[in-house]
A and B are shown apart, each in its own frame.
Chain A
Amino acid sequence: MGVGIEVEDLNAWYGQTHTLKGINLQIPANSATALIGPSGCGKSTFVRCLNRMHETNPVARAEGTVRVGNVDVYKDASPVEVRRRIGMVFQRPNPFPTMSIYDNVASGLKLNGFRNKRVLDEVVERSLRQAALWDEVKDHLKSKSGASLSGGQQQRLCIARAIAVDPEVLLMDEPASALDPVSTAKIEDLIFQLKDEYTIVIVTHNMQQAARVAEKTGFFLSGHLVEFDSTHKIFTNPSDKRTEDYITGRFG
């Protein structure tokens, strides 16, 4: 089951550049939350702070409080523990090129020392079914490389890989921006189904996508969270002038 996320006064830097400025928000459990905003507004940095991927860049740092469920991500846990509980899907599909489809999905478990073959088989099948990829790949699970699939299939493979470790939260950083409309529709269907079981945070450039999949939407601008409210409210009656300007296409 998913858990909620509470963020208090989160600040992040890349070198000297202050990219996130005092972010406060509460993301509800078992729902999809969309983050929108123009390029460079800090929305990607924000999700990367939630699972501490931000700090893998040597010049990056973050300060503040992020609570996922009852765990304070920056105080109570190591980055590795945090990332096991918070799955991530990246902008460009990034399957492991040397691994088979099966090993890609099983990698999170296998590389953490899990070896029980029967359980692995079950997890791989369940994850691929959840990611709506099972029927397309079940005949060559172990004979084909993850990199031999099409872009849309690769992204669903990456989603299967992320949910195979049974995370509580799933972060998606523009998961459909490199895909064609048909693949995008499949990913969106998937988000719709997955949000019953996971807390999903999705960064997107596509406002229609936010409106279609998310219960709540946050609008970022130059490192600030300008507005955070129900998706309906944001797109029909935003309380901030800047949000209105952005969603009506006046800038960005």
Chain B
Amino acid sequence: MPHRPSRANVGRRQAANHLFSVLAILSTVLVIAPLFAILVYLLFQGVRSLNVAFFTHLPRPVGEPGGGMANSIVGSGIILALASLLGIPVGIGAGIYLQEFGGGKTLANAIRFTADVLNGVPSIVMGIAAYSLIVVPQRHFSAFAAGVALAIMMVPTVTRTTEEMLATVPNAVREAALGLGIPKWRTVMTVSLKTASPGIITGCMLAFARVAGETAPLLFTAFGNQFWPTSLNEPIAALPLQIFVYAVSPYDEWHRLAWAGALVLIVLIMVSVTLVRVVTGRGMLNGGH
């Protein structure tokens, strides 16, 4: 009976099954372990230097104890808000074009290709681009230039996830809206985007988290600042920059502050991503797919 497995065969298959399960679990551990180790070490190193002053005070000159990164936290917030404000609408708009209007057109293919290439461009190149396009003509570093540099980095991720998430919206749902006499643009803005919104929000958060820790593009654009930000048109402090400056310095006090800054950066990213998820997740109805 060639088509019926023998006992021995079953045993071998079960062994193979176990083997692959173990390999899969092992790979998972290998992926998680470094991340977990970094987090624990960061927590251990960072918590020691964290105090209220860290969140409320400006940096002090070398030799003076204390001081904080209050201006860097605010500066990072400003740069990231600016980047999201510029990058997310453009990215979502391009994603909508690719999926809902582009079809197989040459322009759509060109945009898709450009987005993929842009996604692989090293962040320092983005910094140089923003430097030569904005900083050099203006003759000064600025928060605005930093926001633009990070926005350009967000666009490809947001564009491609928007496109992919819109592609998962069943055509039947679009037809339902068109069949009711709802114009195409309105169908896209309300029905398609709304249906795809959980995935699109995830994409935006991924892009946000990725650029939040970027340092290289800020070196040529934000430049850094020891004081509170007062205008988008002047150099501005940012957490990753401040961490970089402190970490490569020869002073122990600054090293400790760098650890604390790294911890705060990670926690802030986690908090903002979670917050967006909770806020946008509310109002979703139970049931559904």
Are chains A and B native binding partners rather than an unrelated pairing? yes
- CB–CB B180/A111 < 8 A: yes
Specify the main secondary structure of chain A where it touches its partner: mixed
- CB–CB A53/B178 < 8 A: yes
Is A84 an interface residue when CB atoms closer than 8 A count as contact? yes
**Distance in angstroms between the alpha carbons of A90 and B174 in the assembled complex:** 12
- Count chain B CB atoms within 10 A of each CB in A92, A95, A98, A108 and give the residue with the most: A98
> What's the interface size class on A, roughly?
35 or more
- CB–CB B180/A56 < 8 A: no
- CB–CB B176/A148 < 8 A: no
**Distance in angstroms between the alpha carbons of A58 and B100 in the assembled complex:** 11
Measured between beta carbons, the chain A residues less than 8 angstroms from B284 are 98
**Distance in angstroms between the alpha carbons of A95 and B103 in the assembled complex:** 25
Chain B stretch 30-73: residues in CB contact (< 8 A) with chain A? none
- CB–CB B287/A51 < 8 A: no
- CB–CB A80/B181 < 8 A: yes
Q: What is the CB-to-nearest-CB distance from A50 to chain B, in angstroms, rounded to a whole number?
A: 11
- CB–CB B175/A111 < 8 A: no
Number of residue pairs across A and B with beta carbons under 8 Å?
Answer: 90
Is B172 an interface residue when CB atoms closer than 8 A count as contact? yes
User: Of A87, A92, A111, A161, which is within 8 A of B186 by CB?
Assistant: A111
- CB–CB B179/A87 < 8 A: yes
Q: Chain B 172-197, CB within 8 Å of chain A: the 1/0 string?
A: 11011111111100110011001101
Is A204 an interface residue when CB atoms closer than 8 A count as contact? no
**Distance in angstroms between the alpha carbons of A147 and B173 in the assembled complex:** 11
Is A21 an interface residue when CB atoms closer than 8 A count as contact? no
Is B289 an interface residue when CB atoms closer than 8 A count as contact? yes
Closest to A113 in B: B186
Closest to A109 in B: B180
Measured between beta carbons, the chain A residues less than 8 angstroms from B187 are 111
- Given contacts A94-B173, A96-B195, whether A56 and B182 have CB atoms under 8 Å apart is no
**Distance in angstroms between the alpha carbons of A84 and B183 in the assembled complex:** 10
Closest to A164 in B: B180
- Given contacts A58-B103, A112-B182, whether A96 and B287 have CB atoms under 8 Å apart is no
Measured between beta carbons, the chain A residues less than 8 angstroms from B186 are 111
Chain B stretch 235-289: residues in CB contact (< 8 A) with chain A? 284-289
Is B11 an interface residue when CB atoms closer than 8 A count as contact? no
- CB–CB A97/B286 < 8 A: no
Is B170 an interface residue when CB atoms closer than 8 A count as contact? yes
- CB–CB A161/B180 < 8 A: yes
Chain A stretch 145-160: residues in CB contact (< 8 A) with chain B? 145, 147-149, 158
Given contacts A96-B194, A107-B177, 18 further A-B contacts (CB under 8 A): A56-B178, A58-B103, A80-B183, A83-B178, A83-B181, A90-B179, A94-B175, A95-B176, A97-B173, A97-B288, A97-B289, A98-B195, A100-B285, A107-B182, A108-B182, A111-B180, A144-B285, A147-B287
Which 6 residue pairs across A and B have the least CB separation, nearest first? A148-B287, A84-B181, A83-B181, A94-B172, A145-B285, A88-B179
B residues lining the A interface (CB < 8 Å): 103, 170, 172-173, 175-183, 186-187, 190-191, 194-195, 197, 284-289
For this complex, 14 residue pairs linking A to B, each with C-beta atoms less than 8 Å apart, are A53-B178, A56-B178, A58-B103, A84-B180, A94-B175, A96-B194, A107-B182, A108-B180, A111-B190, A111-B191, A145-B285, A148-B286, A148-B287, A158-B176
